Structure 1
Amino acid sequence: MPFQVKILFASDIHGSEYVFRKALNAAKMYKVNYLIFGGDIFSKDFVPVIDKGSSKFVEGKEVQISQLEESSKVSGKTPLLMREEEFQEAIKNKKYMTSLIVRELEGQASRWVKVFHEKMNGSNIETLWNLGNDDPLELDEYLSGLGIEIAEGKVRELGDLKVVSSGYVNPTPFGTYRELPDSTLFLRLDSMFKEVSEGPVILNAHAPPINTKLDQAMDRDKKRHSVGSKAVRDIIEKYKPIVGLHGHIHESGGIDKIGDTKVGNPGSYYTDGMLNAIFLVLEREVKGKGIMVKKEYKVKAMEIIRG
């Protein structure tokens, strides 16, 4: 009987602790071998909350910080507690605002890593973490200090499989943390693929390939436009990985194919606390004998799960 490898891929959680916990639970429920986080894990939306001692204010109205914090566990929209003088400085100084955001996200990362260990210890599920364009660069080193190795720019081995990971995307109108011209992104991915001498490869690229079902962004008039990465598509066409796992465009969840490579974007409804993930089953067959033995993988199943 062929050997099967089961993978759960989740992306674009954007600080929803509900969705993060659901991903961990789903990995155990589906009895996967590997859990892959594809990027944009932590919050990108923040509510400035002015701290005046015993009272807290949002846009001049008194609020209960505990209620905001509880709501943020679903929506990912995180209260950013600051004194009045910090708020005034943040308005004038974008770099200072970023430092406040990074400070808050480091706290979020610490809490989530604790949740991760509590829920996953003893599960025998290997987890690969990567960040995305909305995750500040400072989080790579911070997570490393918590014992979480970020896969960015590396070729990781998951059993017989090799996983090439990049959280960088082609330029967006928003000037996010991890953006590169397609020409540079291609060279970055190409150098990683050249490290792989043999064996099946999974591409874990946050940017979806251009001109697919995965990259159709909707404008204000609700018209769809292809906004994916030419570099990612060119890499898939050149190296033909067994699977491409992507995210970034929340409203464009789907499964597609480029040549023989199946590609998927689970999409995202994180603000509603809903998990979108890809459940992937790869089947391995061993052919030949002795030094001529060869392991071949094929996609047995690839589907989007929601809940």
Structure 2
Amino acid sequence: MQEATETTHSTAPQLAAPAAESSVRRTVLLAFVIILVALLGVFASRFSVSPRGAASPALLVATQPALAITAALAAMIVSLLIALTLAKPINAVVSLFALGCAFAAYAMQTGTISDFVFLGANFKLAALETIAWSVFIALAAIITFRVGGPLVDVPAHNRDGTFTGEIIHKRALMSLLAAVLAIPVLIFTMIGASKGQAIGACAIAGVLTSVIGRMIAPRAQPILLFAMPALVIGLAQLALAFATTISPDIAFVNATLSPIRVPMPMDIATGSLIGVAIGLGWSKGLVKHEPPSMHDE
């Protein structure tokens, strides 16, 4: 009996050592990937120049929009490919968080709402750019979850179901409605015009979207959830662009510009990716995994 006890105690450190080494390797890999994609984001921002000579607050209002779009899109595609190296050893959420860091690095180099309004830029173009990035994020999330597989703490609705079926499951689609909360979040938290506050407000919107979305559908893989805050904010910005008649620069000077219009496209994309990823991590302990019921099938 004593020998068995001694054997158990002696093998425990041996089992713990490989796990610790694996954790260190994953941490180092994550740090390396984030630094690499951030550098790509910073580099790509150099090709988006506004008429004022600084980095343009939106791609479509750059002096050379085709060059700006090509550089940004190429950088984000390469960043996605690099971030995919995290999907298997860690998980898809961490991989998409790393992609969000590329967007964040790019966004921090670009102009704010003040630069945008005094350029006399078109808010409709900015809204369309935001919507376009939401589509890119959705595709990136689909690819990442396809490569990395489902989250281990989110049991599938149907173990024999298809990947597409998991995306369009009714409970998964229902959880996307949580993104409408992004609008009141911006209204109540976006009280300035700084770049950091714009990204922060969008990230809070992403966190709340993912937490509520996961509570609505705890058994749904949160694939499309990553794109929803950006899509909802972009649609709201587009609606305001058509509905508002007052000149944006006058509204900005008079402090009557809607908080929804303050974040720029890259700010929103950053918050959507990073915020949802953080929220999913925080919400692990908030959901209870119920056995699948008949209406879930």
TM-score of the superposition, structure 1-length normalised?
A: 0.29
Higher relative contact order (Cα pairs below 8 Å, separated by 6+ residues): 2
Higher Cα Rg, which structure = 2
Give the strand-richer structure, 1 or 2: 1
